Amino acid sequence: MHVTFRARDGISSLRPDRTFAALSRALADSSHASFRVAHFSVQSDHIHLIVEADDAQALVRGLQGLAVRCARAINRSCRRRGSVWSDRHHTHALRTPREMRLALAYVLLNFRKHLRAPPGVDPRSSGPWFDAWAQPPAAQSAPSPVAAPRTWLASVGWRRAGGPIDLHEAPRSRPTASVENPSEFPDKP
């Protein structure tokens, strides 16, 4: 499941060291026997996650607990009070190897879209612990903040849809113009 939590307006960036460290601990603490955070990336105003759950009830409870735990971590690190998330989280069920691979690349390399960063591993993601990069980065000495995926799709299946993820891949910054309306993006020929 691909999940996105978006911060309310007025919340400072989620990427500074102090806030990211608190969020990373909260994400690590959110995994348990029936609910797992397998991958994540923290952007300035939102968090992308790939999570697994043993059943629908574990998913609902796991996401509720995750949202509360992360909000408390953000409030503590930013020395603030009040609600953190702008609305209910967005979820998208990942059903095919191709969907899972695209979601992995999107989540782990999302900083390239938002920060216009060069190819590389986002230090504000679970990317440093991801073991299927086409060009493996240096090994991490810190313990992984994510749980190992246990479903076939998230652990093995996605590799059938294109193999290891290349650091040069990047999420699209905007959709491609439709054939019906090529003037959607006037700066493109």
We report the CATH number of the domain holding residue 103 as 3.30.70.1290
The answer to whether residue 22 is domain-embedded is yes
Lowest mean pLDDT among 11-20, 51-60, 67-76, 115-124: 115-124
**Reduced DSSP (H G I as helix, E B as strand, rest coil) percent helix, strand, coil of the chain, to 5:** 35, 15, 45
pLDDT of residue 36: 96
The answer to whether residue 151 is domain-embedded is yes
pTM attached to this predicted model = 0.86
C-alpha dist (Å) from residue 15 to 100, 116, 120, 121, 141: 25, 15, 17, 15, 21
Indicate the number of domains in the chain.
Answer: 1
The answer to whether residue 16 is domain-embedded is yes
Find the mean pLDDT for residues 20-45: 95
The answer to whether residue 173 is domain-embedded is no
The answer to whether residue 188 is domain-embedded is no
**Mean pLDDT (the chain, rounded):** 87
The answer to whether residue 184 is domain-embedded is no
Q: Which domain holds residue 24?
A: 2-161
pLDDT of residue 171: 74
